[in-house]
Amino acid sequence: MTIVRLGYVAMSMHLQNASPSQTMTFSAFQKISDQEAAIRKLERIALSNLENTHRLLKHNASHDIHFYRLTSRLIPLANHEELPDWNYMKPLKEKLLEIGEFVKKQNMRIDFHPDHFVVLNTSKVDVFKNSIKTLKMHYLLLKGMKIDPYHRCVLHVGGNYNDTEKSLEKFVDNWMDVPRSIQKMILLENDDTSFTLDDTLYLCEKLGIPLVFDYHHHLAHHTNEQWEENWERIMATWKDSPLPIKMHISSPKSEAEFRHHSDYVDVNMFFNFLKEIQGTVPEIHCMIEAKKKDEALFHLIQEIKGRADIEIIDGSSFYLK
């Protein structure tokens, strides 16, 4: 049997006043005449985001949720070009350690999915440098929690620039300039407009990067619709990872807005995927990318409970029979 564990992204629909993504614009920062006071305010916001992250993790533990994506917006204005000397990690040290200890005690899988401006196949030097700086921040946050950063950061391939082959080769070229510690952190996923499963597999196999299969993206954008033919290759990209294979699950908002994520996950669509991979892996972690966040997870597990082809383990996990 295959164990399926469900996770969700960043925000809770159930916890009140628990945003882990509170921010401050640079224009607001500049309006504070005392820069030291402005820096302290940024640090208070970052600490508040971490406090709310800890609350979310406790919420997850109380509902048997073992898989969670941290927001990449924990530290407002981190790596801003006008704040080159700000050591944003120092005031967060104790709280990061506390969060990391909780995560390990609960045996919870956490990871990141940096924003779209992290582009590794860019030809622009400044964009590449800023992408590496942002990835380093994710690395430092995980190290600050004493969580092994290995395979904890999902990226899209990047820009297509109207030439798929050249864009893929640019990724390969730029990969040689990515620090080894950052390389080991990265996972790649197929997207819904630029790089298909086949494109992404090419990079993952060539560079030894695990592939996070996004089923909804594949349905929206593919050259070969039969993803099942590539499932063994997808699994093989995970052969050296200490973590179970991971995929993304979401559902179209509508037929007209197929690429947009729905509030919830279509249980039949999900099981169309699961029935194909049943028994091929001992465990798979499925990140729900739905608008209703944890509510979408609770809704999905309730629908799943009535099925004859599963056996419930806990609040977010089940066996595929």
pLDDT grade, residue 129 (50/70/90)?
very high
| Domain interval for residue 314 | 2-320
List beta partners, residue 68.
Answer: 8, 110
Query: DSSP code of 25?
Result: -
pLDDT at 25: 95
Contacts of 72 (CB under 8 A, 6+ apart): 112, 113, 114, 115, 134, 138
Q: In this predicted model, what pLDDT tens digit does every residue of 146-192 receive, in sequence order?
A: 999 999 999 999 999 999 999 999 999 999 999 999 999 999 999 99
Percent of the chain whose pLDDT exceeds 90: 98
Q: What is the CA radius of gyration of the chain?
A: 20
Provide the 3-class DSSP secondary structure of residue 318.
strand
pLDDT at 168: 98
pLDDT at 200: 98
Query: DSSP code of 317?
Result: E
Nearest CA to 155 among 110, 88, 211? 211
Which CATH number goes with the domain that contains 9?
3.20.20.150
Q: In this predicted model, what pLDDT tens digit does every residue of 17-58 receive, in sequence order?
A: 999 999 999 999 999 999 999 999 999 999 999 999 999 999
- Provide the domain count of the chain: 1
Provide the 3-class DSSP secondary structure of residue 44.
helix
List of long-range contacts for 172-178, beta carbons under 8 Å, 24+ apart: 172/203, 172/206, 172/207, 174/120, 174/121, 174/122, 174/128, 175/120, 175/207, 177/128, 178/120, 178/132, 178/135
pLDDT at 301: 98
Q: With the C-alpha atoms ordered 247, 215, 315, 138, is the resulting torsion angle positive or negative?
A: positive
pLDDT at 238: 98
Structure token pair of residue 51? 């406090």
pLDDT grade, residue 122 (50/70/90)?
very high
Q: What integer best gives the mean pLDDT of the chain?
A: 97
* Residue 171 to residue 284: CA distance in whole angstroms: 28
Longest Cα separation, the chain: 64
Residue with tokens 């590794």: 120
